[in-house]
């Protein structure tokens, strides 16, 4: 077996579903099954998964196997990152993809501070795109890393590694005159007749809104999508609709007439640093990953 096959086992252990795991691994379901059978044969025809159950669960042997597989793959990725620092050209440009609202979460000082550590021949290029477009640019190796928003249950391809830097709570956003403006919490089922304005489907926030609806079992009847957050806030402020955004994001716009109401089924938005784990990272990518993971402590201590 090889590292990639260990990742196949980890994917199935995580998603507990052959179809979802195969998609995350960029394989067909039949190919994933063949790889797993090969591994089980190699270790002595020991079953790692109980395939008779839904969801697919690990056997006792599988649970122990996964512990070793996780340690091995983590060490392998650490090794690759560590070795890349010795493969630095005379000058380098680090291409950082960011979502348009990343500055409102306090990450621009992170990039600025990192730039101050660079040598005169190194540089940073910023590419501003929605989350899903950034993931596509990563896969095509058109950027080196991305700072973006993902939902907790979002399936990233196994070719990508993510580092969680910050969590934000998704809230119902209403104007101060809305009937729920002074509620401590609300179930989205109560809002099924409302008009919702949410970020469009190229953004990580869109997937987060779907996760919130799924968590509460709500089916929203009227949903409009917009690329610009300011447009959404204007519409909510005018009483045209309500929205789903993170409380931290709302706070940064300083809209005094808007209120953030907690959801009874909480959903977290994750700001993550995502990199290609199989690509040839330049030394700056390795340095930025270390720098950002240390910076996370400062981000977590900030109040909003």
Residue 66 has pLDDT above 70, yes or no: yes
- In sequence order, the 6+-apart residues with CB closer than 8 A to the CB of 129 are 97, 98, 99, 137
Q: The whole model's pTM is what?
A: 0.66
* Mean pLDDT computed over every residue of the chain: 87
Q: Which of 49-63, 73-87, 114-128, 219-233 has the lowest mean pLDDT?
A: 73-87
Residue 270 has pLDDT above 90, yes or no: no
Q: What's the confidence (pLDDT) of residue 152? A: 74
Quick: pLDDT tens for 241-265: 999 999 888 998 989 999 999 999 9
Residue 281 has pLDDT above 60, yes or no: no
Measured between alpha carbons, how far is 209 from 187 in angstroms, rounded to an integer? 13
Q: What's the confidence (pLDDT) of residue 297? A: 45
Q: With CA atoms as reference, report the closest residue to 302 among 167, 147, 113.
A: 167
Measured between alpha carbons, how far is 237 from 198 in angstroms, rounded to an integer? 14
Q: Which of 243-247, 284-288, 292-296 has the lowest mean pLDDT?
A: 292-296
Quick: pLDDT tens for 35-46: 999 999 999 999
Q: State the number of CA atoms in the 13 A half-sphere of 173 facing the CB.
A: 33
């Amino acid at each position: 077996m090889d590292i990639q096959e260990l990742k196949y086992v980890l994917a199935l252990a995580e998603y507990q579903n052959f179809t979802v795991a195969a998609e995350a691994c960029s394989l067909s379901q039949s190919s994933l099954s063949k790889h797993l059978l090969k591994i089980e044969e190699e270790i002595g025809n020991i079953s790692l998964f109980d395939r008779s159950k839904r969801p697919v669960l690990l056997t006792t042997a599988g649970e122990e196997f996964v512990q070793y597989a996780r340690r091995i793959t983590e060490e392998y990725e650490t090794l690759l990152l560590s070795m890349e620092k010795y493969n630095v050209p005379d000058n380098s440009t680090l291409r950082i993809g960011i979502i348009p609202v990343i500055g409102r979460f306090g990450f621009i000082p992170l990039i600025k501070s990192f730039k101050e550590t660079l040598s005169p021949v190194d540089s940073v290029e910023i590419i501003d795109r929605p989350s899903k477009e950034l993931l596509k640019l990563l896969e095509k190796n058109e950027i080196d890393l991305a700072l973006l928003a993902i939902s907790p249950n979002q399936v990233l391809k196994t070719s990508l590694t993510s580092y969680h830097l910050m969590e934000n709570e998704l809230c119902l956003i209403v104007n101060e005159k809305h009937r729920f403006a002074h509620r401590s919490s609300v179930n989205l089922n109560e809002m099924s007749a409302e008009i919702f304005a949410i970020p469009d489907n190229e953004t990580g926030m869109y997937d987060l809104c779907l996760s919130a609806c799924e968590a509460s079992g709500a089916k929203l009847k009227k949903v409009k999508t917009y690329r610009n957050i300011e447009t959404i806030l204007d519409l909510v402020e005018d009483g045209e609709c309500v929205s789903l955004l993170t409380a931290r994001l709302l706070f940064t716009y300083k809209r005094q007439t808007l209120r953030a109401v907690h959801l009874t089924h909480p959903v977290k938005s994750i700001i993550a640093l995502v990199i290609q784990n199989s690509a040839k990272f330049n030394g700056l990518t390795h340095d930025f990953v270390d720098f950002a993971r240390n910076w996370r402590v400062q981000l977590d201590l900030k109040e909003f």
